[in-house]
Amino acid sequence: MKNTIFILCVLFAFAKAKSQDNFSEILAAGVDAANLYAKDYATPAAESLTFNIASGWYDDARVLKPGKFKIQLRAQATFTPDEKKTFLLDPTEYERIIQESYNNTNGPAANINVSFGDGSTTPRLIATALGENEMPQQLVVESREANTGALLQRDEIDLAQGLSSEGLEFVPTAFLQAGVGLGAGLELKARFVPKVKTDEFETGFYGGALQWEFTKLFDREDGNGVINGAPITISALVGYSRLDASYDFEDGAIVDGRDQSIETQVDVFNVSLITGTNWDVFNLYGGINYISGSTETRLLGDYTFTSNTVIFPVSTTVSDPVTVESDTTGLLGTVGAKLTLGAFNLHADYTFGEFNTATASIFVRL
């Protein structure tokens, strides 16, 4: 469960490996190589989470009447497209990066060779944080004395699996969302997950949005929005969501050191144009949504390598070694339906885009 939480929160995705040894092996290949791998491995998970928390802001084109209030429990699942489950890893690119890193050490003159575990140097598809390696995959890093070709050091790095290896083909979230009618066709919305904090893990999620039903400007005398005689409503919405998460390692559990932790921050803005029917019990709605989000994940603390590796042949400490940043934008379409049963309501919708997201909720209006 702990490893799954890492990925769901984009908490340094390659910590998802079955054992924490993978983590130290990748970092031991050098800070530059670790950053490259982390970016390729973790970015699809960051994108998926961004699309997820940007979705689900509305379930109706109509807004609440002034002073009316609703609270709902929402569940969302963002599905992983096949092309986001893998990335192309080129051993020769890592060879170049690790060679440059090695040349900056005080080690003897040496040539770096990088290949997959089977000896191949041909680029191949490797699992991202959302995917799965059907067969275990390794990178082999060797250093050989520049003049004689004698083997100086050989490191074998087990590459991490992703969510698909645990049978999970989507990124799930659940949260509370509330709304209150302000009048003048406006509704203020807020969403949040109560802050969770343990000795190791801490996370918080919140957001806010404002929806304006501008067809109120064309209301009939009975208060029902009408355009050209059709019982439909049109509104616009702007929203913002934020996720903060951190995980504190037990110092030395992965690599010797102190103050070791992972921190992730996700910020998402979205703008939506919504239209829907204006019936009493059952309604259909749809929307066009533009989102813009950013994710930053940082590996913090001091990490001391005391064992002999290609890049760290002697005891070496690196601080705050890895940062993964991802920017995501997209144009999405949403279709959905809502059933009103007195004060209780049920809704479900589906949002189409680079990542597709299904949303469902149950809520009460007061």
Reported as a single tens digit per residue, the pLDDT across 248-265 is 876 555 567 788 888 899
Whether 21 has a pLDDT exceeding 60, the answer reads no
Whether 225 has a pLDDT exceeding 80, the answer reads no
Among 247, 252, 253, which residue's Cα sits nearest to residue 300? 247
Q: Which residue has the higher pLDDT, 231 or 339?
A: 339
Instruction: Give the start-to-end residue ranges of the domains of the chain.
Output: 2-83+167-365
Whether 61 has a pLDDT exceeding 90, the answer reads yes
What's the mean pLDDT in 69-74?
93
pLDDT at 28: 75
CB of 209 within 8 A of CB of 238?
A: yes
pLDDT at 152: 86
pLDDT at 4: 44
Q: How confident is the model at residue 16 (pLDDT cuts 50, 70, 90)?
A: very low
pLDDT at 220: 55
Distance CA 175, CA 206 (A): 9
What's the mean pLDDT in 32-41?
92
Q: What is the pLDDT of residues 148-198, one digit of tens each?
A: 989 888 888 889 888 898 888 998 889 999 999 999 999 999 999 888 777
Q: How would DSSP label each residue in 128-163?
A: -TT---SS--EEEEEEEETTT--EEEEEEEEPP--G
pLDDT at 253: 53
What's the mean pLDDT in 39-62?
93
What average pLDDT is seen over the chain? 86
Tokens representing residue 76 in the block: 């969302």
What's the mean pLDDT in 56-72?
94
Whether 14 has a pLDDT exceeding 50, the answer reads no
Distance CA 166, CA 322 (A): 26
What's the mean pLDDT in 218-242?
74
Name the pTM for this structure. 0.86
Coil, strand or helix at 70: strand
Q: Name the percent of the chain lying above pLDDT 90.
A: 54
What's the mean pLDDT in 280-308?
89
